[in-house]
Amino acid sequence: MYSIVIQYVLFMLCAQNIARNIQNYNIERAKLLEEELTIQVGGNIKLSDEENVANDILMQYKQRELDEFIQNPKYFNFSRHYFTYKDDIEKSEVYQIIKRMPKGAALHVHSSLMLSAERLVALTYEDHLYACFVDDDLKLHFSVTVPQRPCSSKWQLLADVRNSTENITAFDQNLKKHFTLYSRNESDWKNDINSNWKRFNKVCHTIKGFIAYRPIRERFFYEALKEFYNDKIMYIEVRSSLPNLYELNGTVHDLTHMPRIYNKVAKQFKKEHPDFIGIKLIVTMHRAKNVAKMFEIIEVAKQLNTEFPDLFAGFDLVGQEDLGKPLMDFLPALAEVEGEMNFYFHGGETNWYGMATDENLLDAILLGTKRIGHGYALIKHPSLLALVKSRDIAIEVNVISNIVLSLVSDVRNHPLASYLALGMPVVLSSDDPGAWGADPLSHDFYIAFVGIASRRADLRMLKQLVINSIKYSALNADDKTKFITELLREWDIFIKDIITNFK
Ligand SMILES: [Zn+2]
- Digit-coded pLDDT (tens) for 277-302: 999 999 999 999 999 999 999 999 99
Residues 345 and 298 in one domain: yes
Q: What does the pLDDT look like over 199-258, one tens digit per residue?
A: 999 999 999 999 999 999 999 999 999 999 999 999 999 999 999 999 998 899 999 999
Give the pLDDT confidence score for residue 70 in this predicted structure: 82
Using the predicted structure, report yes or no on whether residue 10 has a pLDDT greater than 80: no
Give the residue from 132, 155, 189 where a domain finishes: 189
Domain encompassing residue 366: 83-115+214-494
Give the pLDDT confidence score for residue 235 in this predicted structure: 98
Say how many Å lie between the CA of residue 396 and the centre of ligand 1.
Answer: 9
Q: How far apart are CA 24 and CA 338, in angstroms?
A: 55
Residues 276 and 335 in one domain: yes
Pick from 383, 376, 359: nearest CA to 419: 376
Pick from 471, 386, 379, 381: nearest CA to 417: 379
Say how many Å lie between the CA of residue 374 and the centre of ligand 1.
Answer: 7
Q: What does the pLDDT look like over 428-469, one tens digit per residue?
A: 999 999 999 999 999 999 999 999 999 999 999 999 999 999
Residue 41 phi, psi dihedral angles, 5° rounding: -50, 125
Residues 300 and 443 in one domain: yes
CATH number at residue 365: 3.20.20.140
Q: Which residues contact 327 (CB under 8 A, 6 or more apart)?
A: 317, 334, 345, 347, 360, 363, 364, 367
Among the listed residues 65, 237, 321, 349, the single catalytic one is: 349
Pick from 373, 118, 102: nearest CA to 237: 373
Torsion angle defined by CA atoms of residues 436, 77, 409 and 206, in that order, rounded to the nearest 10 degrees:
-10
Residues 260 and 127 in one domain: no
Residues 169 and 280 in one domain: no
Give the pLDDT confidence score for residue 68 in this predicted structure: 87
Model confidence at 2, in pLDDT bands (50, 70, 90)?
low
Say how many Å lie between the CA of residue 300 and the centre of ligand 1.
Answer: 21
Q: How far apart are CA 360 and CA 298, in angstroms?
A: 20
Using the predicted structure, report yes or no on whether residue 74 has a pLDDT greater than 80: no
Say how many Å lie between the CA of residue 28 and the centre of ligand 1.
Answer: 43
Residues 403 and 370 in one domain: yes
Say how many Å lie between the CA of residue 427 and the centre of ligand 1.
Answer: 13
pTM (predicted TM-score) = 0.94
Total structural domains in the chain? 2
Using the predicted structure, report yes or no on whether residue 181 has a pLDDT greater than 80: yes
Residue 176 domain-assigned?
A: yes
Q: How far apart are CA 248 and CA 274, in angstroms?
A: 33
Among the listed residues 141, 178, 374, 443, the single catalytic one is: 374
The secondary structure of residue 193, as a DSSP letter, is: H
Q: How far apart are CA 275 and CA 229, in angstroms?
A: 10
Residues 369 and 449 in one domain: yes
Q: How far apart are CA 35 and CA 38, in angstroms?
A: 5
396 - beta bridge partners? 373, 427
Residues 358 and 460 in one domain: yes
Give the pLDDT confidence score for residue 1 in this predicted structure: 59
Q: Active site includes 253?
A: no
Residue 460 domain-assigned?
A: yes
Q: Active site includes 374?
A: yes
Give the residue from 189, 224, 245 where a domain finishes: 189
Model confidence at 362, in pLDDT bands (50, 70, 90)?
very high
Residue 178 domain-assigned?
A: yes
